[in-house]
């Protein structure tokens, strides 16, 4: 009985050692804050290349950029972890501070989001 207990302890310690080695050998996931965080003066714009409404929204976003509205453009196909982080349920989605707009939006609606109007 004592023999099995000692063997179990040795196996347990070996397993813990293997886990520690695996974690040390795994490459660390690099987080780039400029890709995952929202600046206080930027609208986060989530879009998809295959989204019809996102394509329709593109000229409006470009026009607003020329007028000084800042966007952080996030392609949902390339930023899947951010979909969960920001609870994005559809595209296009615009998030500014604690407010959001989902679906096709007019230029006025996006500007009102930027200016803090409801």
Domain chopping of the chain, boundaries:
33-115
pLDDT in tens, 13-28: 544 443 434 444 444 3
Q: 60 or 6: whose pLDDT is higher? A: 60
Reduced 3-state DSSP string for 56-91: HHHHHHHHHHHCCCCEEEEECCCCHHHHHHCCCCCC
Pick the CATH number of 33-115 from 3.40.30.10, 3.30.70.1450, 3.90.420.10, 3.90.190.10: 3.40.30.10
| Mean pLDDT for the stretch of residues 86-110 | 95
Question: Residue 75, Cβ neighbours under 10 Å: how many?
Answer: 15
Confidence of residue 38 (pLDDT cuts 50, 70, 90): low
Helix (H, G, I), strand (E, B) or coil at 95: strand
């Amino acid at each position: 009985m004592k023999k099995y207990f000692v063997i179990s302890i040795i196996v347990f310690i070996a397993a813990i050692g293997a886990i520690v080695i695996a974690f040390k050998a795994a490459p660390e996931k690099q987080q780039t804050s400029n890709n995952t965080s929202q600046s206080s003066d930027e609208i986060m714009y989530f879009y998809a290349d295959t989204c019809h409404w996102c394509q329709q929204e593109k000229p409006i976003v470009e026009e607003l950029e020329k007028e000084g509205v800042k966007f952080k453009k996030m392609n949902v196909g390339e930023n899947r972890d951010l979909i969960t982080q920001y609870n994005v349920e559809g595209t296009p989605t615009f998030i500014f501070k604690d407010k959001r707009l989902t679906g096709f939006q007019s230029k006025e609606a996006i500007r009102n989001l930027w200016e803090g109007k409801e």
